[in-house]
Amino acid sequence: MQLEVWLRLQSVDHECFAPNRRRLPTPPPLLIVTLLYRSKPAFDQLRHVIDATSAFLDTSVELEFREAVKHNSVPLLNRIWDSCLPVKGQFSRRKYLRTNVHYNRYQYRFGMENAVGEKVDMDVVRWLFNHFYGCLVSGFVVGQAAQNGNLELLQLFKKSGIRRRMGRDIRDDKGIFPFNGGIKHFVRWGGHDMIYAAKNNHPEVVWWLHYNTQIPRMHVEDVLTAAVKNEDMMMLEWVDAKYRIDGKAWKHDDNLHLVRWDIRSSAFNVSFADSTMTAMRNNFYKFVDAYKASGGVPGGFTTYRDEKWTVPEMAEYLYGGGNFDRLQKIKTVYDPTEMFNTDPQAIPALA
C-alpha cells in the first residue's frame, strides 16, 4: 500500500505517457476467448464479460516489461503496452508504465539492455525507441552494440538520440525536453566503444565511431594494440595516420614509436622469463617485417633498452637509423660517468 501511494505521488502527467489516464486502452481479448464466445450469441452484447474472461486468463500482461523484452516479440510488447489500464480495483504495476515517468524510464533502460546482444531484433529496438520518450540509452547498450559490430544499431542511436551531457541545454522552463526532428532519447557514448569494436575486429565500426562520436585520445593506444593483435595492417595504418602525435620535440628519423609491447597480464603477475622475452622478440620481428614490407620505416625515441638485446638489434628494431649512436653521444656529453644509470636498461655512455 505504501509503495502504491509513493508511486502515485511521483506520477506526472506527460504528453508522452497518458494525456488522460482514464482513456488508456484495454488490450483486445485473447483470440481463444473471442472464438469461444463467438459460438455463444447470447454474449454478443456483453463485451465486459469477454474482457473480464480474457483478463482472467491472460497472464502475459503481468510479466515485467523489461523481462518481456527478452522474448523479442513485438506483439507481446504491444499487448503489455495496451494493458496499462487493469481491471478496476486490481492493483498492478503495469499501469505505471505509461503514467509514471520514473518507472517508465527505469523499464526502458533495462529493457533496452536486455534487447541488445549478439542477435538483436531491430524491430524490438525500434519499438522501444518509438514508444518511450526522454529515456537513457546506457553506456552498456552502446558498448554491446560496438562489441558485436552492430552498425545499424549505432546509427539508430545517433539518428534518434542526443548526447546525455547536452540535456541541460535543451530543457525548457518546466524541465521538459522538447525533442524534435526524431530525437527522443539520451545516448551515453563511452570512451571505450572504439576499443570494444577494435578488439572484436570490427574496423567499420571503429571508423564510424571515429567520425560520429568523440573518443578521449588516451584510449587510442588500446585501439592500436587491438589492431596489432588482430594483424590488421589497414587499421594500424589508419590509427597511425588519424591519431599521430606531433613529434617535433622528439624527432628522430621523422618517426615515433608505432607500438608499445606490454607482455604482462592485467594482474601484473607474469614474470619476464627468457622464454617470454624470446617469444616477444620473435613476434616483434614478425610485426616489424610486415610493417617494413608495407612501406613503414621503424624508428622512435627510446630512453631505455632491453639489456638482453644486442646493440645491433636495438639499433635496427627500436632506434631507427643512427638513433642509438646519437643517444650514446648525448649520454657521453652530459653523463660520462653514468651517474644516473640506476637502471640496467639505461643508455650506456661511450667507452
Contact present, 256 and 243 (Cβ < 8 Å): no
Contact present, 118 and 146 (Cβ < 8 Å): no
- The alpha carbon dihedral of 128, 129, 133, 134 has a sign of positive
Alpha carbon distances (Å) from 304 to 132, 238, 322, 335, 343: 57, 28, 16, 15, 9
* Residue 56: predicted pLDDT: 57
Give the number of other Cβ atoms within 10 Å of residue 336's Cβ.
Answer: 10
Which sequence spans correspond to the domains of the chain?
2-97, 134-214, 249-334
| Greater model confidence, 184 or 81 | 81
pTM above 0.85, yes or no: no
| Greater model confidence, 289 or 132 | 132
Pick from 87-91, 134-138, 341-345 the range whose average pLDDT is largest. Answer: 134-138
Q: Is the pLDDT of residue 321 over 70?
A: no
Across 244-274, b (16+ Cβ under 10 Å) vs e yields eeeeeeeebbebbbbbeeeeeeeeeeeeeee
Q: Is the pLDDT of residue 7 over 60?
A: no
Q: What is the pLDDT of residues 72-117, one digit of tens each?
A: 888 888 878 877 765 554 556 777 888 788 888 889 999 999 998 7
Q: What is the pLDDT of residues 246-282, one digit of tens each?
A: 544 444 444 444 444 444 444 545 555 556 566 666 7
Q: Across-strand partners of 252?
A: 255
Grid cell of 13 as nine digits = 502527467
* Residue 158: predicted pLDDT: 87
- The alpha carbon dihedral of 131, 129, 185, 191 has a sign of positive
| Greater model confidence, 185 or 2 | 185
Selection from 311, 255, 313 nearest residue 281 by Cα: 313
- The alpha carbon dihedral of 218, 219, 224, 226 has a sign of positive
Q: Predicted confidence band at 144 (pLDDT cuts at 50, 70, 90)?
A: very high
Give the number of other Cβ atoms within 10 Å of residue 212's Cβ.
Answer: 12
- Give the helix/strand (H/E) hosting 255: none
Q: What is the pLDDT of residues 211-252, one digit of tens each?
A: 888 766 567 778 888 887 887 888 888 887 777 655 444 444
The rounded percent of the chain whose pLDDT value lies above 90 is 11
* Residue 135: predicted pLDDT: 85
Q: Across-strand partners of 162?
A: 186
Grid cell of 98 as nine digits = 505509461
Instruction: Give the chain's mean pLDDT.
Output: 71
How far is the C-alpha of 311 from the C-alpha of 308, rounded, in Å? 10
* Residue 205: predicted pLDDT: 92
Residue pointed to by grid coordinates 562489441: 147
How far is the C-alpha of 13 from the C-alpha of 83, rounded, in Å? 18
For residue 204, what are the contacts with CB-CB under 8 A and spacing of at least 6?
149, 151
Q: Is the pLDDT of residue 323 over 50?
A: yes
